[in-house]
Each structure stands twice: as C-alpha cells, then as structure tokens.
Amino acid sequence: MEETQVKKNEDGKKVEDEVVRLRRQISLLPAVSFIIGTVVGSGIFIAPKGVLMNSGSVGLSLMVWALCGVLSLFGALCYAELGTSFTKSGGHYLYLLETLGPLPAFLRLWAEFFFIRPAVTSYVALAFGRYVVEPFFAPCVAPTVLIKLVSILGVTFVVAVNCWSVTLASRTQVTLTFIKMFALVLIIIPGVIALAKGQTTNFENGFEVDSLTLDRLPLAFYNGLYAYGGWFYLNYVTEEIINPNRNIPLAIIMSMVTVTVFYVLVNVAYYTMMTPAELLLSDAVAVTFANRALQGLASVIPILVALSCLGALNGGCFGSPRMLFVGAREGHWPPIFSMIHIRRHTPLPAVLLQEKYTSSSTLPPSPDGSSSPWQPWGCSFIGIASPNI
C-alpha cells in the first residue's frame, strides 16, 4: 500500500497526501531469481578452463567448484544477517556508512560508479554481444563494431525495462532465470546419461598429485569465485522486498544452494563428454560441449548463453542504481538522483545515469579517436519527485 501523510487543507479538513516512495513489490520468487540471474552469467561457460588449468586435475577442480560455492554461501549468509539488521537499501555503501562512517561509504559509492559497475557491465554486455553476433559469422571473425553495438542494444533493453517498472523488471528477471537454468539442464542431462552408461574415463585418474601446483591453486579459487559473484545484489534493494526478515535469508539460501549444485553438475557433464586437454583448448567450453553432445541443438547454446548474460545485466541494472539512489538520499551524491518517478515508482535518474556512463565505455571510438557519447533517449525529468522517507 502507499504510505500517506495526513495534512489539513485551508478549511481545516484533514486530507491524505500520498508519499512518493519505492514500493515493496519483490516477493520470494523474484528475489531468488535476482540472485540466481545475477550469479549465473557468463562465468560458468568461461571459468571452467581457468579452474582446471590452475587446479591441475579433474577431481581437484570439482572440489574447487564445490568449495567456492560453500565460501560464497557463507558470505551470502553474512549479508542475509546484514540485510535483516539494516532495513535500508544500498548494500555495501549502507553497511560502510553505518559501521565505518561517511568517508569509506563515500569512496565506495564513487568507486562503484566510476570503476566497478562500468567494468562489470561492459564485460557482461560484450559477452552478450559476442554470443549473439559470432554464430552468424562463423568460422570468420565477427566485426568488433557490430559486437559493441549489439552490446549497447542489450544494455539499452535492460535500462528501458528497469525504468518502466519494478514489476516488469522482476518478471523479466524471472523469465531470463528460467531460461538460463534450462540452458544448464540442457548441458547436465547428456552428461548424466553418458555417465550412467559408464563413460567415466576422464574420472579414473581424477586426483593427479604430480600435476598439483599449490602456488596456482589460489588462481583456481579466483576463477571459481568469479563465477559465483553477484550474491550480494539483493541487499541493494532491501526496501523493496516484501517481508525482508523472511524472504532475504530464504532467497539467499535457496539460490546459492541451487547454483552450487548446478555448477558442480555442469562441470561433471563437461568432464564426461570432454577430456581435460580438450577443455583447456576450448575458448568457449559450452559451445564445444554442445558440438560434441548436442549436435542438433548446438546452434541454440550461444543464444541461451547470450540470454544468460542478459539476465545478469538486468539484475545488475536493477540493483546497482539503488546504491546511487541511497547515496544521493544521504547527501553523498547530487540530490536529483534520489528522486523517484511519481507513477513508475522507479529511481529513474539513478538508473539512467549509471547505465549511460557504463554504456559509453563499450562504444567504438569516434573518427577522431575519442569515445563516442551515447544517450539511450532524450530524458525529461518531468514526472519525477523526491521521495519523502
């Protein structure tokens, strides 16, 4: 329900004035989808090569994947406690503000805007563009400019969705999450069938001590933890979650356990159908697997991976601008970015600013060598109001 303020008009009669605020519209299923959809991006389709290369054996690489899931779950549970202790949105920024004071929070906020979020979004957006474009040019090299333009279209789509309404962003995330989980199931089933038929050659010498190099093992965990990154995004939107004391811990536990189980099974499927040498030679493990095990559906895998990247983009676009929104509300960012659209109930200025700056880093250079400016659409701030919280 809308919060209301009781005021008196000129005749002394009481009237109700609606307060512009972010509504609690995110239930348990969208909350789980936001975590899974943000965590499962391009990492599971790229990182297995790095984990195997630095762990040295099939068995140890599977242990690394499982342990990375456990470590991520522990970190996520800590954030679940923080999310139920601090009822405001903002994630990292808010927790630094409440514990260490305004200076670390201020620095974290600006680092998020200028460095962290643009790098993450650009990486995932370019992966989206590459998986969309390259199948049309195989076996030739796809034009870099076209990949970047498709990446910008992907970012523009998620910006438009998140500007339109929280409900549409939630439904989009749920849909994309089910699609990416279907992609993982599509990889797991052939591997499990082959394993049940006795195709266990690659697991016979799973723990080869001779190939173990302890100095490179941290790099294996680094690659694995990269694929699990994103479990903290739900805490960016605490004020918009229905019954956060119940739904935040449940969503985190359900999503991280699900992701860990799926990641381990996907890697088991990879090793069932591909030798370690073949996996290390592959630049796109999922595509190589599809060509081997899903010959009739090999062309579908790049599309599913692209949609997986789009889901990660949507989750990041939904969560990260809330940090700017809260920072502006606390006085660490220009006040206009603490404003909310009076009908859409979305932090429209914060969403547009964050993603406009991010998208400019993926643009091809202009003829004079400078970065081209990009603006998704002409924006008028008519219809935006400052929240009364």
Q: According to the per-residue pLDDT averaged within each range, which of 85-89, 175-179, 366-370 is highest?
A: 175-179
- Return mean pLDDT, the chain: 83
Which residue type is seen at 269?
Answer: A
Residue keyed to tokens 């998704």: 376
Helices (H), the chain: 28-39, 43-55, 58-85, 92-99, 102-111, 117-137, 144-164, 166-196, 217-227, 244-273, 276-281, 285-293, 300-329, 348-360
Res 364: pLDDT: 47
pLDDT tens figures, 327-356 = 999 999 889 998 988 888 889 888 888 766
* C-beta separation of 12 from 379 below 8 A: no
Q: Which helix (H) or strand (E) holds 340?
A: strand 340-341
CB within 8 Å of 193: residues ≥ 6 apart: none
Question: Would the pLDDT of 383 be above 60?
Answer: no
Q: Place 374 in a pLDDT band, splitting at 50, 70 and 90.
A: very low
Chain centroid, CA 107 distance in Å:
22
Helix axes 92-99, 102-111, angle to 10 degrees: 160
pLDDT tens figures, 116-139 = 888 888 888 998 998 899 888 878
What is the mean predicted confidence (pLDDT) over 187-195?
91
pLDDT tens figures, 126-174 = 989 988 998 888 788 889 999 999 999 999 999 999 999 899 999 999 9
Higher-confidence residue of 235 and 293: namely 235
Which residue type is seen at 190?
Answer: P
Res 117: pLDDT: 87
Q: Place 362 in a pLDDT band, splitting at 50, 70 and 90.
A: low
Higher-confidence residue of 363 and 239: namely 239
Residue keyed to tokens 């093992």: 217
Res 30: pLDDT: 93
Res 142: pLDDT: 87
**What tokens does 221 get?**
């965990």
Higher-confidence residue of 71 and 25: namely 71
Question: Would the pLDDT of 386 be above 80?
Answer: no
Res 149: pLDDT: 94
CB within 8 Å of 59: residues ≥ 6 apart: 203, 206, 207
pLDDT tens figures, 23-47 = 888 999 999 999 999 998 777 877 8
Kindly report the CATH number that applies to the domain delimited by 29-364: 1.20.1740.10
Res 313: pLDDT: 92
Q: Name the nearest CA neighbour of 172 among 158, 153, 151.
A: 158
pLDDT tens figures, 273-301 = 888 888 888 877 877 888 888 777 777 88
Share of the chain above pLDDT 70, in %: 84
Q: According to the per-residue pLDDT averaged within each range, which of 12-16, 177-181, 382-386 is highest?
A: 177-181
**Range name among 219-233, 290-304, 317-331 with the lowest pLDDT average:** 290-304
**Range name among 130-144, 182-196, 203-217, 251-265 with the lowest pLDDT average:** 203-217
* C-beta separation of 340 from 347 below 8 A: yes
Share of the chain above pLDDT 90, in %: 43
Res 113: pLDDT: 87
Q: Place 378 in a pLDDT band, splitting at 50, 70 and 90.
A: very low
**What tokens does 22 get?**
């972010």
What is the mean predicted confidence (pLDDT) over 60-78?
94
Question: Would the pLDDT of 5 be above 70?
Answer: no
Res 212: pLDDT: 67
DSSP codes of every residue in 84-108: HH--SS-THHHHHHHHT-HHHHHHH
Res 325: pLDDT: 92
Residue extents of the structural domains in the chain: 29-364
Distance, CA of 146 to CA of 154 (rounded, Å): 12
Distance, CA of 69 to CA of 260 (rounded, Å): 5
Res 361: pLDDT: 54
